[in-house]
Amino acid sequence: MYPADSMSSEERRAASSLAAVFAFRMLGLFMVLPVLATYGQDLEGATPLLIGMAIGAYGITQAFLQIPFGMLSDRIGRKPVIIGGLLLFALGGLVAAQADSVVGVIAGRVLQGAGAIAAAIMALVADLTRDQHRTKAMAMIGMSIGLSFAVAMVAGPLIAGAAGLAGVFYTTAVLALVGIALIGLVVPTPTQAFHHRDAGVTRGAFLPALSNPDLLRLNYGIAVLHALLMACFVAIPLALQEQAGLPRESHWWVYLTALLLSFVGMVPLIIYAERQRKIKRVVLGAILLLAAVQPMMWLSTASLAWLVTAIVLFFVAFNVLEATLPSLLSKIAPAGSKGTAMGIYSTSQFAGAALGGVLGGAVYGSFGLSGVFVCCGLLAVSWFAIGATMAEPPYVTSYRLAVDPTLVRDEALLRRILDVPGVAEAIIVAEETAAYIKVDTQVLDREQLDRVLHPV
């Protein structure tokens, strides 16, 4: 029996290997961003609009398939869905690598996006970890995504410089195959797959989540954030190459510098937001920085030093928002509905990525680099106007806790849970013999809660 405050060796193996699978897949998606706008111009039929579509095309299929694949994994098992998704991702990489036209690359990117396995991976994490360690496992996956983005921004230009755009896509296919090997050889197989309301979509929670104004505000925000990212990666590589005079093979050092400095800048802001309970202030400040940095990029395209400074500030704002928005969602989503809210949130994110690529390409084709930056600035301003109406969120943490089976049908149990100091929300799911609760950890009486759930 392992102590409650430490993960078992199997839990650590499951969390670390699934984080690696997630990282390899996201690395494959992100590596293309810093190189498609410049190397894509060599493809047959390349136009700004089609290059923008190639950048964001993966988001179309991701948005449509994210939730269905997660629900499918409840029926046929997690591993078959994850392996199938990684095979689709590898096939998409091969299609794009062998394409000599921009349309072929778009087709490959669409196929890559069809490997929508995020929900299935999260569900598998929930199957393989105990309730008290699930947050740690999810945090490991979150950190792996951030690391993969940073590595991709550097690796993409380096690989493209050595092996061309095709080399980048071949690398994505190899990474997918490594992910399949990890799933088959390293990731434990759960004895039974469970539906976890905090890790998967629950049909009954779907419409309430779609009609919740606080969640809708967040969904709009994550869609805009990833639309800005894709649109900016239509413009930033071109600004570095054509305006600032930096060869495309050398772009890697700009992204490395920007990401390292941005991580240093974002950490104090995230700590301040959580410890001082000022998350609304930090989020709105980061949105304002996103808006302010767009004209700065436009006006500094002829100066490499100023352009790099603008890119650093862009990544500070982006990374702060990428880290704090999921935390905000966790605080706002009703108890037992976090998985559903996160599924809709992820769908919005990928839809925004698809829209941003198309928008960036279309605007660049009609109005040039300045038009892209102006458009991105207006998008950020619209987000600020909507975000400014949000209230300061409740500073609560979500838990799924086992309930004594003899008490799960006790109608008075819910009231006793809600009477515990620090418990803000709670629901009891009898078929899971579990309670989903949201608590203020600074106020919670843990001993009283334990006595309520498991009386002697």
Q: What is the pLDDT of residues 359-391, one digit of tens each?
A: 999 999 999 999 999 999 999 999 999 999 998
Model pLDDT, residue 9: 87
CATH number of 201-394: 1.20.1250.20
- Give the C-alpha separation, 378 to 366, whole Å: 17
Model pLDDT, residue 404: 81
Model pLDDT, residue 193: 66
Model confidence, pTM: 0.92
List every span in the chain annotated with CATH 1.20.1250.20.
9-190, 201-394
Token pair listed for 149: 């983005």
DSSP 8-state assignment for residue 443 = T
- Helices of type H across 239-299: 251-275, 279-299
CATH number of 9-190: 1.20.1250.20
Q: Which ranges of the chain have pLDDT less than 50?
A: 1-3
Model pLDDT, residue 456: 67
Domain 397-453 grouped into CATH 3.30.70.100: yes
- Give the C-alpha separation, 293 to 312, whole Å: 10
Q: Are 343 and 329 in contact (CB under 8 A)?
A: no
Q: Which of 262, 245, 264 is nearest to 302 (CA)?
A: 245
Model pLDDT, residue 435: 86
Which residues 6+ apart lie within 8 Å of 424 measured at CB?
394, 396, 438, 439, 440
Model pLDDT, residue 161: 94
Q: Which of 161, 164, 213, 423 is nearest to 333 (CA)?
A: 213
Q: Which of 115, 4, 17, 130 is nearest to 66 (CA)?
A: 115
Model pLDDT, residue 1: 34
